[in-house]
Structure 1
Amino acid sequence: MSMRSTSKRSPPSPDAKDAGYIEDVDSPSQLSHSINGPTDEELLAHYTKYPNRWSRIREHIREPAAEFFGVMILIIFGAGVDCQTQLSKNTKVASMVYGDYLSLNFGWAVGTALGVWVSGGISGGHINPAVTIAMATFRDFPWRKVPAYIFAQVMGGLCGAGIIYANYIHAIDLVEGGRHIRTVPGTAGLFSTYALPYMTSVSAWFDEFLGTAVLLVVVCAMGDARNGPPPPGLAPLVLFIMILGIGASLGMQTGYAINPARDLGPRILTAMVGYGAPVFTFRSHYWLWCPVIAPIVGALFGTFAYDLLFYTGAESLLNRPNKRARELGERAKNAERRPLPAGPNMV
């Protein structure tokens, strides 16, 4: 940025000089001498987007990093409340039960709200691969960002689960009967989702599909300026209410994963710490078709239904102009370019 002024200015008053008035200068080095206090480096930081090398690197990783931390916070609260509520039922762990099913709903709702709060202003607060894929499919979210977002989300889930596992490892040992014993679903269900035994494959798939479709309808409504978006900064509160409601109404049978990263990241962690291959082979690879594929399909369906019936924004795939609309638009542009006749009696 050039520091030289092209116009003349009146000399600053003594009060202006005391306030740090910047006179016309020929170079950034002279600029530092016209202000009492800051050095060259401190002052130049205000005139460049990248004041140092790390700031340039951060520009490229801040969005995936926000998704990573958002999912990690989600899992810390979600898996944390699972461990506290379920492990405390064993008298070897605690003398009383610390929580019930409603506690689980609140923990996951709090984790979702805080995860979106941390990441929303930077990355959009997806913290869910199903949301990312749906937004890239039907909205204008760039596909080039999708791989980095999904990788960061899954790794956030893995690291969040690792933190909670380390925090509750001694309680898990007491419940399982030793450090070398790990059962599936057993305590593996504290970190990932496993359907109840009576659920058929189709029923379990539909349960996850339904929950995620409802999730995306509400998410789309939140972002619709022509509907009833929440006031700035209150989107996490809406998500808190929504996750609390989904858990209280639809969470019993499959554990309401409704988020591939929320399930896959912790599942990978459990396979790494001793639960082994059974976390993936359980019920004919349940991990893939139920908590991963079903939420993605549900998210696509929920976004499609909302855009088809309600959304009028131009960024939606369903609102792109067709051939006739494009022809009319070109015709209107050409009509606007025609020169008007000159003269006092022109119409």
Structure 2
Amino acid sequence: MPALLDTTPCPSPRWLPEGHSQTIFAALFARHHHASFVRERVDTPDGDFIDLDWTAPGLVPAAAAASGARLPDPLPQPTDNALVLFHGLEGSSQSPYAQAITQYFRSRGWSVVIPHFRGCSGEPNRLPRAYHSGDSKEIGFMLDTVRSRLPDARWHAVGVSLGGNALLKHLGEVGTAASWLTAAAGISAPVDLMAGGSTLGTGFVNRQVYTQMFLRTLKTKTLQKSQMFPGTIDILRVANARDLYEFDDAYTAPVHGFTGVTDYWTRASSKPVLGGIAVPTLVLNARNDPFLPGRYLPGTHEASSQVLLHQPAQGGHVGFSSGRFPGNLSWLPQRIATYFRTGA
């Protein structure tokens, strides 16, 4: 059976009339609650590390920081429900959407953990590699790690933007092996990386606002990494990259085993494997998303019957602000929670 399609609108304010304003305002100005975390560092099988930020009943971040303590094992008050949240490109547990989602579920008694992709937790990782949009193997390691901390919880997974594509790709590849998850959600996931990358390379706002924002930190991290690993990175090409196509072709693709950016964007996209998803999964994409316009979104015939494609006309890229000025980010976590509770 094909996936189901939901076109119920997101209640975007009239003062945010289109995709760019909805995207930028949510990222910079919309109100949200703030969550605090206790950090756990986990070594990876290849000699690197990932940092996981936890919040759960009984965890007191301030006290843990003062004592230098790390995550207790086991957690002091294991909860019935747990959420793992994968952030987007150059995001972290401090990103506004991550804070809003975390606070919503934590206030309802859930344990929440945000694994940071390599190099995104505030400290350089140990290897020449970093992370990429199709890193489904890394997603699998992160999922296994957090599950081992709360093996009896009802686990749910959310991925946002890049993290959403990587999560959906993992779910599509492993099928029923992910059935221990109660439900999942991919939010504003660029499921067609070729289309999304090309879109970000065209138009003034895409090139001069979004692309430059990403390149600013990506280039800095990569050039610092080149000093740690001399001769492994084409410094000149990275420094001169004008868009994500050129950056990914110079660094992301070769360092992660792809022959070039076309090979990377093609093989890392989750859209071709949505039909293999066996876990109830919400795939939420606004049709006016400036990173991946509606014409590139999957149709019901491209996803399994376990998938609900929610494609509202408005919302932007991880925007979904609502309410009177200055707006808030409450609609997105509520939408996720509704799906987790009802499957619709």
Q: TM-score, normalised by structure 2?
A: 0.24
User: Greater share of helix residues, 1 or 2?
Assistant: 1
Q: Which has the larger radius of gyration?
A: 1
Q: TM-score, normalised by structure 1?
A: 0.24
User: Greater share of strand residues, 1 or 2?
Assistant: 2
